[in-house]
């Protein structure tokens, strides 16, 4: 399944999302880029989150690369520190997703594609390793966008308490690398879909009409 490219609202826009007429003032998920992240990938990620999670998504104004999270020792950015900062955001959005182009790590792992607070507010996705094939060389732009949308969806779903899923056809399945990621579908299995619905009720979040 290819990533969708529907229009989502930016924070400065007053226009209504293309497919939905009765949207709340603020979205449920705010997507923010930290540092040099392309406009197109931002919009595609936001559109896919909105379409698949059935939640209103806003694109927030860009911010600086999170230098505070840089580790001299690892030459990478500490994902947990970025999450902590994001969770403190004054934006009204119950969930905040950041896209970065730098490489991320958590202390115990060599790298992560993304990281999220399980049942928390913040998630972050690194585009750094998504542009490359495992065997070397670059991937097509379509593949890159699709990977970014998948990791974003997976990480945001963690903030709604979803854990890794054993179903082969589910975006919550743990992928062990970009090739695995390419094989995953861009949707949830029926179980995770149900868990997600339950989480919306638990967090009192109103989903968009299908």
Partner 1 sequence: MTDKVRILVVDDELVIRESLHGWLKKSGYQVDTAEGGSAALAMLEKTPYDLLFLDIMMPVMSGIEVLEVVKEDYPQTLVVMITAYGSVDTAVEAMKGGANDYLMKPFDPDQLSLLTEKLMQQKKLLDENIFLREQMAEAIRFENLVGRSEAMQELFSLIQDVAESDSQVLITGETGTGKELVAKAIHAKSARCNGPFIALNCGGFPEHLLESELFGHERGAFTGAHRAKKGRLDLAHHGTLFLDEVGTVPLKMQVDLLRALETKEFHRLGGTAEIEVDFRTIAATNRDLHQAIEKGEFRQDFFYRLNVISLHIPPLRDRRDDIPLLAEHFLDRYSRETNKDIDTINKAAMAILKQYDWPGNVRELENAIERAVVICKKRRLGLEEFSFLAPHLSAAAETHSLEKTQIAHLVKVLKEFDWNITKAAQALEINRVTLHKKIKKYDLRPDRASS
Residues near partner 1 (CB under 8 A) are 74, 80, 105-112, 115-116, 118, 158, 163-166, 174, 176-177
Nearer to partner 1, 9 or 158 (CB): 158
Nearer to partner 1, 51 or 115 (CB): 115
CA-nearest of 144, 129, 109 to 177 is 129
**Which residue of the set 13, 155, 169, 190 is catalytic?**
155
Nearest approach in angstroms of CB 111 to partner 1 is 7
Nearest approach in angstroms of CB 81 to partner 1 is 10
Nearest approach in angstroms of CB 118 to partner 1 is 5
C-alpha of 38 from chain center: 15
Contacts for 85-88: CB closer than 8 Å, 24+ residues apart: 86/32, 86/121, 86/122, 86/123, 86/124, 87/117, 87/120, 87/121, 87/122
Q: For this structure, is 115 an active site residue?
A: no
Is the separation of the CB atoms in 155 and 51 below 8 Å? no
Nearer to partner 1, 10 or 70 (CB): 70
Active site residues: 155
């Amino acid at each position: 399944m290819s990533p969708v490219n529907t229009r989502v609202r930016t924070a400065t826009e007053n226009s209504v999302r293309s497919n939905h007429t009765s949207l709340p003032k603020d979205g449920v998920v705010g997507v923010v880029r930290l540092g040099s992240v392309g406009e197109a990938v931002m919009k595609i990620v936001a559109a896919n989150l909105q379409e698949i999670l059935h939640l209103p998504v806003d694109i927030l104004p860009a911010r600086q690369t999170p230098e505070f999270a840089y580790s001299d020792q690892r030459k990478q950015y500490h994902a947990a520190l970025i999450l902590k900062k994001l969770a403190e955001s004054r934006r009204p959005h119950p969930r905040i997703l950041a896209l970065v182009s730098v490489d991320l790590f958590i202390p115990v792992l060599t790298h992560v594609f993304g990281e999220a607070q399980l049942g928390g507010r913040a998630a972050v996705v690194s585009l750094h390793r998504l542009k490359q094939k495992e065997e070397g060389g670059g991937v097509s732009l379509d593949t890159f966008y699709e990977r970014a949308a998948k990791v974003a969806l997976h990480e945001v779903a963690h903030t709604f308490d979803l854990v890794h899923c054993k179903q082969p056809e589910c975006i919550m399945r743990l992928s062990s690398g970009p090739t695995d990621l390419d094989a995953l579908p861009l949707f949830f299995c029926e179980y995770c879909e149900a868990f997600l619905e339950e989480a919306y009720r638990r967090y009192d979040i109103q989903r968009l009409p299908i």
